[in-house]
Amino acid sequence: MLFLSISTQAQHTFEFTMTNLIFEATRDVIEKEDGNFLVSMISQDTDENLRPIILEISPTGELLQSVTIPYNDTLSYDAYYIEMSEDTIIVLGQVWNTNQGYPWHCTLRNDLSLIESRVLWDSNPISHLTDIQKISGGRYAFVGHKSDSVSYFDGRVTIINRQGELLNDRTYPIDSIISPEAILEKSDNSGFILKAGSIEIGLLDNNLNIDTLISSPYGFYDHLFLYSTMRVWDDSTHLISGTHTMLFGDDDRSIGIKKVRHTNQVINDYVFGTPDSTEIAALNQSLDFLYPDKIYCGGWQSETDDELFISELPGWLILSQLDEDLNPNWTRYYGGDAYYVMSGVLATKDGGCLIYGWRYDFTDIFEYDIYLLKVGPDGLLTSTEVPEGTSGITVYPNPATHYMVFDTGVAGQYDLLVFDALGKVVLSQQIPNNRPIDIKHLPASTYTYLLTQKNEIIGQGKWIKE
C-alpha cells in the first residue's frame, strides 16, 4: 500500500489519501477522546472477498496505525459501524457466506488487537444491510432485508447487546411495511421510528411490533443502496437527510434535509445542489451534528447519471453547514480533480467536520483511493488571510495542490485571470462561484489572481500553489 497524507498549517484540518491497486472504501469514522480518528474500511483481496481494516489517524492527518482485523478467508466482511466503549472498540457489520449475509460483531482492544469476532449464524440471513444504530441499554439495531429467494423484499430488524448476543429479531413482510431502511429510537425510549422507503414510516413498540403506519413526510427518492440518515433532535422531533427529487425518475437530484415531528409534520427543510445536475447524499451518514448551530449535511455531485459510483468525468464532494432552523450558513464544493464518492460526514469537537469516502483518479478502473478531508467550522481546509482589495472574497485552499475555490458570497459567473511571477497569464476561464478549479497543471509558485464580473473588478490578491 502507498500512503499519502497532506497536512495544512491550520490546526485541525487535513487532507488524507490512501491508495491501493484494488477496491477500497471507507464505511464509518469516530473521533476518540484524544482527538485521533478511527476509520473502519474494507479492501478487496485477489479472490474478490472484502477484508475489514481499521485505521487510526491523528488530528493533523498522520496515519498512526493500519490493522487488518483477523478474518476467515472464505468469508467477505463489511465493517459498517465503529464505536469506542471505554477501552474497547466495537465494530459491527455484515459477513457474507455463499451469497447469504449475516450480522457481524467484533471487539478490539485500544491498540486494535482482536478480542473477539462473532458471526450471528443463528440469525436469519440479511440480503442487504441498510442501517445500524446504537440504542439504549448498550444495544444495537440492525436494519435490512431478508436474504432468501422467497422473501427477498421482506424487511428485517435485529437487535443485539454489547456482547453480540441476539435479543430480538423481527421480519416485516412486504405487504406490512415497504422496504425498511433506517431506524431511530425515540428519545423517551418508548419505541422506534422505522423509515420504510419514501412513502411510509412505521412506529414500533419496544418489542419491534408495528403500532402505527403513517404516510412518510420525507419526500426523498430512494435509489439502489442509498437511504436516509435519521438523528434525534429533541423529545418530539428528528432530523433526516437523503437524496431528493421532485419526481421518480427525475435526473435532477439534490440533497435534502428536514426537521420532522415524530407525529409526521415537517417543521423545516432545506434542499441544496446545482440545477440540472445529479447530487447524491452520502452513502452511510449524510447528516451529523454536535452543536445545534452547526448541522452538517453532505454528499457528492456527478456529471453523469449512468454510473453513480465510478465515472470518467470529474466529480465534487458537497458539504453544507446549517443552523438549528436549517438555514444554510454555507455550502462548499471540494474536489474536481477526480471522481469522488462520499460515504459520510462526522461533526467534530472543534466545530468542524470530517468528510470521508473514496475517489477514482481515472488511472485504473479497479483502483479507488480512500479519501478523508477535515475542514474547520468555516468549511475551509486552511485558514486564509483575505488579501488587500478582495472585498471579502475567500480563496481556499491556500496554499493548494489540486484545486482552488473562489467564494464571493454571491452566486453567479465570474471571469478569472491568474498571473505568474513574470506577469504572464497562466489561467483564463469563466468560473461559477464556489466551485473547484483544477490547477494540477500549474507549477508550484506564488501567483496573482484577478476576478472580474461584467468588466468590473470583484477582487484580486495572491495565491500559492504547492
Q: What is the CATH number of the domain that holds 64?
A: 2.130.10.10
Task: Give the SS3 label for residue 97.
Answer: strand
Whether residue 111 is found in the same domain as residue 16: yes
pLDDT digits (tens, 9 = 90+) for 99-131: 788 899 999 999 999 999 998 876 667 778 889
The reply to whether 382 falls in a domain is no
The reply to whether 367 falls in a domain is yes
Q: Residue 59 pLDDT more than 70?
A: yes
The pLDDT value recorded for residue 249 is 52
Beta carbons of 80 and 92 less than 8 angstroms apart? yes
- Quick one: what percent of the chain has pLDDT higher than 90? 36
Contacts by 308-316 with C-beta closer than 8 Å and gap 24+?
Answer: 308/223, 308/278, 308/280, 308/341, 309/341, 310/339, 310/360, 310/365, 310/368, 311/339, 311/360, 312/339, 312/362, 313/339, 314/338, 314/339, 314/438, 315/339, 315/340, 315/341, 316/340, 316/435, 316/436
The reply to whether 223 falls in a domain is yes
Q: Residue 2 pLDDT more than 50?
A: no
**Mean pLDDT within 138-165:** 82
Q: Residue 1 pLDDT more than 60?
A: no
Whether residue 25 is found in the same domain as residue 79: yes
The reply to whether 234 falls in a domain is yes
pLDDT digits (tens, 9 = 90+) for 225-268: 455 799 999 988 999 998 877 555 555 678 989 998 887 788 99
The pLDDT value recorded for residue 307 is 54
pLDDT digits (tens, 9 = 90+) for 190-226: 899 998 776 678 899 999 999 988 877 665 554 444 5
The model's pTM: 0.81
292, amino acid identity: P
Q: Which of 375, 410, 443 is the last residue before a domain boundary?
A: 375
Q: Residue 417 pLDDT more than 90?
A: no
Q: Which comes out higher in pLDDT, residue 282 or 400? A: 282
Expressed in angstroms, the distance from the first to the final Cα of the chain is 24
Q: How many domains does the chain have?
A: 2
The pLDDT value recorded for residue 9 is 37
The reply to whether 138 falls in a domain is yes
Whether residue 408 is found in the same domain as residue 306: no
Query: Cis omega before residue 70 (within 30°)?
Result: no
The pLDDT value recorded for residue 20 is 65
Q: Residue 136 pLDDT more than 80?
A: yes
The pLDDT value recorded for residue 19 is 79
The reply to whether 380 falls in a domain is no
Q: Residue 304 pLDDT more than 80?
A: no
Q: Which comes out higher in pLDDT, residue 450 or 326? A: 326
Whether residue 322 is found in the same domain as residue 452: no
Task: Give the SS3 label for residue 136.
Answer: helix
Strands 192-196 and 200-204: what pairing?
A: antiparallel
Whether residue 136 is found in the same domain as residue 242: yes
Cα torsion 55, 56, 62, 63: sign: negative
pLDDT confidence tier of residue 40, bands split at 50, 70 and 90: very high
57, amino acid identity: I
**Mean pLDDT within 134-147:** 89
The reply to whether 389 falls in a domain is no
For the domain that residue 425 is a member of, what is the CATH number? 2.60.40.10
pLDDT confidence tier of residue 388, bands split at 50, 70 and 90: very low
pLDDT confidence tier of residue 149, bands split at 50, 70 and 90: low
The pLDDT value recorded for residue 153 is 73
The pLDDT value recorded for residue 141 is 95
Burial 351-381 (b: 16+ CB within 10 A, else e): ebbbbbbbbbeeeeeebbbbbbbbbbbbbbb
**Mean pLDDT within 409-428:** 81
Q: Which of 330, 345, 375 is the last residue before a domain boundary?
A: 375
The pLDDT value recorded for residue 311 is 73
Rounded CA separation 145/127 (Å): 5
Mean pLDDT of the chain: 83
Q: Residue 457 pLDDT more than 80?
A: no
Whether residue 363 is found in the same domain as residue 459: no
pLDDT digits (tens, 9 = 90+) for 354-369: 999 988 887 766 678 8
For 369, phi then psi, to 5°, come to -95, 130
Cβ contacts of residue 72 below 8 Å, gap of 6+? none
Q: Which comes out higher in pLDDT, residue 171 or 307? A: 171
Whether residue 311 is found in the same domain as residue 423: no
pLDDT digits (tens, 9 = 90+) for 373-387: 999 998 887 644 333
The pLDDT value recorded for residue 5 is 43
pLDDT digits (tens, 9 = 90+) for 154-165: 888 999 999 889
Whether residue 26 is found in the same domain as residue 139: yes
Beta carbons of 191 and 204 less than 8 angstroms apart? yes
pLDDT digits (tens, 9 = 90+) for 258-299: 998 887 788 999 988 876 678 889 999 999 999 999 999 999
Q: Which comes out higher in pLDDT, residue 298 or 312? A: 298
pLDDT digits (tens, 9 = 90+) for 3-12: 444 433 345 7
Whether residue 349 is found in the same domain as residue 402: no
- 233 lies in which domain range? 2-375
Residue 386 C-alpha from the chain's centroid: 30
The reply to whether 381 falls in a domain is no
Whether residue 302 is found in the same domain as residue 451: no
Whether residue 115 is found in the same domain as residue 169: yes
Least Cα distance to 347 among 317, 379, 384, 371 occurs for 379
Whether residue 334 is found in the same domain as residue 459: no
